[in-house]
Structure 1
């Protein structure tokens, strides 16, 4: 199904290759089928691919992802895009209850942030950021069902007690975590849910996906 992003992406294809999707695919290093899917709205490109479009062709990513266009048009001649970073919204849920199995990691949307805001207010660089949606009530009152949390995936080491996104056998969970030697002590802000531990010595991979640094909530 066509959507606003797909229509704007099609305009970029029209602008750069007069609508020739095969030529656009070859020019940008993607398969023709992938470009067709993006234009139809059945697939979303990765952030790395979008950044390559900016680097190579100065595509205005802010316009492409949000519809807000600068004075330069769809192909940007300014440095404004360099001040903006885009955090992908992954099509997964982070359980704040008893666990939600990950259904996949397709990008469903993007959120634009000013780099200065991220650095000044959140203390993050803007790279390796992603949004996931909270499911469940175990982190009440901190997080509610449907909250969208921003995760800094570069922070995979638990330095101090905070809320982290962790991978468990039951799926992704947003939990309060502190590390004591080789164990992660995992708790919920809702006192009705029990605390538990995770022995890092018994796991082949680090279960910490990243640190939750911000929350977006509808009012």
Structure 2
């Protein structure tokens, strides 16, 4: 039975495009917890609260993860309450004139409702990160100190979208536009000039910005 649960959980993680450490964080566990459970059989069984949360997150009956056979399908309301913990990465993207990104201390992660992430168009949860904006060139859209949710899988440019990008080894967060000059790196703050006419090979898109949050 325990082997069946480990196999089922491993299959769900792979189908969802997640990784073991991300699911461990979802449970508030150390990053190796799920890998050890699946690969080494330690712990031997999932704790009840872990099983309930995983069943809600993956939208499957608890019985698939070792619950009682009569538990039945997970209700939509329960599934919608599943939270995804998104880690902060230890960099800050410059929204200034193109300065080198400042190093940020790693802070507490932010938990998002999984339904909200779907509405935002997020892909693999393991590809999501929170970083902090530094500078004012994207005001009023983004301000200095804002936290932004970045999807590192979303590297295909959609003109008008806001992206974390690296240009000439400088990390920044800007809006990408396209016109007769080609791709344009645009600042929402009119006091900061656009960047155009650069070699596209020098541009690396790190990911698209899906959401921002700030202190009031």
| TM > 0.5 fold call | yes
Gaps of 5+ in 1: 1-45, 59-70
Judging changes above 3 Å, is the alpha-carbon distance between structure 1 residues 108 and 171 closer, same or farther for their aligned structure 2 residues? farther
Q: CA deviation at 1:101?
A: 2.4
1:54 aligns with 2:10: no
Aligned length: 157
Question: Is the contact between residue 86 and residue 110 of structure 1 (CA under 8 Å) also seen in structure 2?
Answer: yes
TM-score, reference length from structure 1:
0.60
For 1:140 and 1:85, how far apart are their aligned partners in 2?
28
Could you tell which deviates more after superposition, 189-198 or 135-144? Answer: 189-198
Verify the 8 A CA contact 1:182 1:201 in the aligned structure 2.
Answer: no
Unmatched runs of 5 consecutive residues or more in structure 2: 1-20, 25-29, 39-46, 59-81
**Any residues of structure 2 matched to 1:5-154 within 5 Å, and which?**
47=22, 52-54=32-34, 56-57=36-37, 72=48, 76-78=50-52, 79=54, 80=56, 82=58, 83-102=82-101, 107-120=106-119, 122-125=120-123, 126-154=125-153
Q: Is the partner of 2:211 in helix, strand or coil? A: strand
Contact 2:93–2:102 (Cα < 8 Å) also in 1: no
SS in 2 for 1:145: coil
Q: How many Å apart are 1:124 and its aligned residue? A: 1.6
**Aligned partners of 2:106 and 2:182: how far apart in 1?**
32
Matched residue, 1:216: 213
Aligned-pair Cα RMSD in Å: 3.0
Assess, with a 3 A threshold, how the Cα gap between structure 1 residues 106 and 153 changes in structure 2: closer, same or farther.
farther
Deviates more, 1:79-88 or 1:142-151: 79-88
Q: Alpha-carbon deviation of 1:178?
A: 1.8
> Which 4+ stretches in 1 moved above 6 angstroms?
none
